[in-house]
Amino acid sequence: MGAILECDRLTKRYGRIVALKGITLTLQPGIVGLLGPNGAGKSTLISVLLGQTPVTSGTATVLGLDIRRRQRAIRRRVGFVPENDCLIPGMSGTGYVYFAGRLAGMSHADAMQRAHEVLDYVGMEEARYRPAEQYSAGMKQRLKLAQALVHDPDLLFLDEPTNGMDPQGRQVMLSLISDLGRAGISVVLSSHLLPDVERACERVVIMGGGEVLTEGHLEEMNKPHPTLYRVDFQGDTTSFQRRLTERTVRVLEQSDGCFQIALPEEGSQRLVFQAAQDTGTKLFGLHPKRSSLEETFMAAIQRQQNA
Amino acid sequence: MTTASTDRVHQYQRWQGTLGKTHWTWPAIVVSGINLSLRHSKTRILLLTSGMPALTAVGVFYITSLLESVVGTEEARGMYDFLNALLHIDIRGISQLAEFRDVLWRSTFLMMARLQMIWVLIVVARVGTGVIANDLKARALPIYFAKPVTPATYLLGKWAVVAFFVALVTLVPSHAAFALGIALTGGPGTWAQVFTLAVDLTASGALVCVVSAAVILALSSITSDQRYVTVAWVAICLLPAFAQAIISESLPADSRMGWLGCISLRDDIVIVIEYLLRIRQGLAATSMPAERFAQALGSPVDPSKAALVLGALTVAAIVFSWRRVVRFSRTAATV
């Protein structure tokens, strides 16, 4: 299967403000997290990819369809869950999802049947017959997901889908997103909640200032650091630290029975064992440090600000 | 309150159907808008009361048919007075009323149109003012523009919602009165006399639908607060009408017949309807003296001027709404 998104030097200007600065990006099918601080250009990128906002320059395709010429064809194959409520006052949950299906081009019978199917899927039981404005925040989010799924899209854009949800509701939403990924629907999850992205996504794109700062697989981002380690031990802290320093191992942080260390080079863990042996220290663990998504995110933002 | 369990039973099922043409999504907007509006009991009551002018018109048709058989008698006097009060046409002493049936019916429908403008004002204020404003307030535009809905489709759907309700208080009662009038006053004979009126009534009703729906769409796209739209709509309908009334009292007839006679939306619509119903031509073609119906028609205002004003207003309103909706569609994902 080809790429779900391909952007080539995609630029969007609003007067003097450059919202997207020549974004070049290719996303393969799967669940992708779109991260970035406010004003990073995430919503503008989604709007451009939905074919709503005309681009200033550059090209992009969504599911192989050109965003400049095939906007309606794109929206037939894409679902969008906006950040805001976007509910129509007076409509029941069923009516709302049915209406979304009709707008997508479904027949009356198909839209009604499919509305009930997707409402079952998102876990809306008898509440579906109540006016949607009476729903809790979690139910509104699930209703919005249902309207985005009604026409069975191949790609979903989710803008902050867990906003305002309680922990249980968040778990439900994230498990739904994971399930959609397994069902073959690609998802672009725009969120500022890094744990949600870590839980649901396979790949991450970090944006800042209208640019893609970094992107990659979460596994790669969380791979062990080659020289940074945590040492758990029992013994004399002072002598162990002195011996490590003599063997060119830097101690970055220390707490009771635990050091954060930096080895002089990759694969030089033996220096730690030798220092422990020299001082009679018992080692309980030597764990390579893994960079978290948050650290990667902060580092990317920091690099961009410095630049 | 129902909440989803973390242990969900359902797994996502792909849909095997095919989507239809996206150009035809506007009827879905219309049906949805009509259903939502009809849920309010006040709207339903309003629609029911909108039949009153039509019932009055049917009464007039029935009385004129009775009058044809009792003309010149004592019984006829009350009927004359009633008709004179309603239509402002003096038909006393006219023995062959059947000859004037066509023009009497047209005058009756003009009277009816004037009355219907009150319902148009209220119905549009009730169902039209929020037609776009409520979507803006609820930030509901992404539901439309993330689906294959174009600004034109959206605007057409919203326009048709308002036009439908305006038609319910203008076109539908007019045609119902027309049909009832024929049924009550002689059937085929009457039909042969007045059948061209059906086309004129349709044109008149369509005029009201087009203009009022276009104007309210423009107003409704300005703000997300329906109250402001209602105030603006009422002001546009009433203030120029008051000004027109003052002008009519204070200015000479020549001035009233020019552009100054065309500043009121309501009056302009009535002037064009009067033209579409061809009342002046109809009356002129009969032997009825002009002074007998002068009061019914008032000062002649050039209908082309009124039509030009209405046309310009409608086009301006459509262009304005279009620009607003295009703008909304481009920011729908980011609002």
- Give which of A275, A298, A128 is closest to A206, Cα–Cα: A298
Indicate if A127 and A23 belong to the same structural domain. yes
A47 and A169 housed in the same domain? yes
Q: How far is A264 from chain B (nearest CA, A)?
A: 47
What is the 3-state secondary structure of A90-119? CCEHHHHHHHHHHHHCCCHHHHHHHHHHHH
DSSP B204-227: HHHHHHHHHHHHHHHHHTT-S-HH
Residues whose CB falls within 8 Å of the CB of residue B275, separated by 6 or more in sequence, listed in order: B303, B306, B307
- In terms of Cβ atoms closer than 10 Å to its own Cβ (0-12, 13-18, 19+), residue B137 is middle
**Measuring CA to CA, which residue among B4, B18, B16, B142 is closest to residue A179?**
B4
Q: What CA–CA distance (Å, rounded) separates A49 from A75?
A: 10
- The shortest C-alpha distance from A53 to chain B (Å) reads 5
Q: Read off the tokens for B10.
A: 């359902």
- Torsion from C-alpha of B218, B219, B225, B226, nearest 10 degrees: -110
Q: What average pLDDT does the structure give for chain A?
A: 90
CA max distance for chain A:
80
Please report residues of A whose CB lies closer than 8 A to that of B147.
Answer: 75, 100, 103-104, 151
Which residues of chain B lie closer than 8 angstroms to A179, CB-CB? 8, 11-12
Residue B68 has pLDDT above 80, yes or no: no
Whether B19 and chain A come into contact, CB under 8 Å, resolves to yes
Cβ–Cβ of A103/B329 closer than 8 Å? no
- Residue A149 within any structural domain of the chain: yes
Q: Do residues A228 and A211 both lie within one domain?
A: no
Does pLDDT of A144 surpass 70?
yes
Q: What is the pLDDT of residue B256?
A: 65
Q: What is the mean pLDDT of residues B51-55?
A: 94
The domain spanning residue A280 has which CATH number? 3.30.70
Residues of B in contact with A159 (CB under 8 A): 333
Segments making up each domain of chain B, as ranges? 32-331
**Is A296 inside any structural domain?**
no
pTM of the model: 0.85
Q: What is the pLDDT of residues A244-287, one digit of tens each?
A: 999 899 998 888 789 999 999 888 889 999 999 999 999 989 98
Burial A104-132 (b: 16+ CB within 10 A, else e): bbbeeebbbebbebbbbbbbbeebbebbb
Q: Where are the beta strands (DSSP E) in chain A?
A: 5-14, 17-27, 31-35, 57-62, 65-66, 78-81, 155-159, 186-190, 203-208, 211-217, 224-234, 250-255, 258-262, 282-290
Position A135 in a domain: yes
Residue B313, pLDDT score = 96
In this structure, the answer to whether residues A18 and A90 fall within a common structural domain is yes
- Do residues B41 and B48 touch, judged by C-beta distance below 8 A? no
Q: How far apart are CA A119 and CA A117, in angstroms?
A: 5
**Is B143's CB within 8 Å of A85's CB?**
no
- Range A120-143 average pLDDT: 91
Token pair 């909304």 in the structure block, residue:
B328
Of A166, A185, A219, which closes a domain? A219
In-domain check, residue A62: yes
- Bridge partners of A205, per DSSP, are A34, A215
Complex ipTM value: 0.86
- Same domain, residue pair A91 and A39: yes
Clarify whether residues A97 and A214 are in a common domain.
yes
A233, β-bridge pairs: A283
Task: Give the distance from residue B329's alpha carbon to the nearest chain A alpha carbon, in angstroms.
Answer: 6
Residue A301 lies in a domain: no
Establish if B245 touches chain A: CB-CB under 8 angstroms. Answer: no
Tokens of A59: 């090209």
B7 close contact with A: CB closer than 8 A: no
* CATH code for position A50: 3.40.50.300
* Contact yes or no for B333 and A54 at CB 8 A: no
DSSP state of B6: S
Q: Is B68 helix (H, G, I), strand (E, B) or coil?
A: helix
Sign of CA dihedral B304, B305, B311, B314: negative
Number of domains in chain A: 2
One domain, residues A229 and A214: no
Query: Helices (DSSP H) in chain B: which residue ranges?
Result: 26-38, 41-49, 52-70, 75-87, 101-123, 130-137, 141-145, 151-169, 171-184, 188-194, 196-220, 226-250, 253-257, 265-276, 279-285, 294-297, 303-331
User: Which pLDDT score is estimated for A153?
Assistant: 96
Cα–Cα dist B233/B301, whole Å: 24
The last residue of one of the domains, among A201, A219, A237, is: A219
Residue B20's pLDDT is what? 85
Name the pLDDT band for B5 (thresholds 50, 70, 90): very low
| Four-point Cα dihedral A170, A174, A180, A185, nearest 10 | 110
- pLDDT in the model for residue B177: 95
Domain C-terminal end among A219, A235, A268? A219
Question: What is the arithmetic mean of pLDDT over B92-103?
Answer: 74
Q: Which of A105, A117, A126 sits opposite B148 (nearest CB)?
A: A105
Chain A contact present for B184, CB below 8 A: no
What are the DSSP calls for B190-202, one per residue?
A: HHHHHTHHHHHHH
pLDDT score of B283 more than 80: no
Tell me how close the Cα of B145 comes to any Cα of chain A, in angstroms: 7
Chain B nearest-CA residue for A183: B12
Q: Scan for tokens 């978290």, then name that residue.
A: A292
- pLDDT of residue A201 exceeding 70, the answer is yes
pLDDT digits (tens, 9 = 90+) for B17-51: 888 877 778 999 999 999 999 999 999 999 999 99
Q: Residue A242: CA atoms inside 13 Å, Cβ hemisphere, count?
A: 7
Cβ separation of A75 and B5 shorter than 8 Å?
no
Q: How many residues are given for chain A?
A: 307
Is residue A35 a part of any domain in this protein?
yes
Burial of A266 (0-12, 13-18, 19+ CB in 10 A): exposed
Answer yes or no: is pLDDT of B262 > 90.
no
CA-closest candidate to residue A64, choices A83, A55, A77: A77
Domain span at residue A254 reads 224-290
Q: Is residue A304 part of a domain?
A: no
Question: Which of A99, A120, A123 minimises the CB distance to B32?
Answer: A99
pLDDT at res. B255: 64
Least confident of B5-19, B56-70, B150-164, B202-216: B5-19
Categorise residue A54: left if φ over 0, alpha if ψ from -120 to 50, beta otherwise. Answer: beta
Instruction: Using CB atoms within 10 Å of the CB of residue B257, give its burial: 0 to 12 exposed, 13 to 18 middle, 19+ buried.
Output: middle
A221 Cα to chain B: minimum distance (Å): 29
- Contact status of B152 with chain A (Cβ, < 8 Å): no
Q: Cα–Cα distances in Å, from A178 out to A118, A145, A174, A181?
A: 16, 13, 6, 5
Asked if A58 contacts A11 with a C-beta cutoff of 8 angstroms, the reply is: yes
Gap between the Cα atoms of B182 and B178, Å rounded: 6
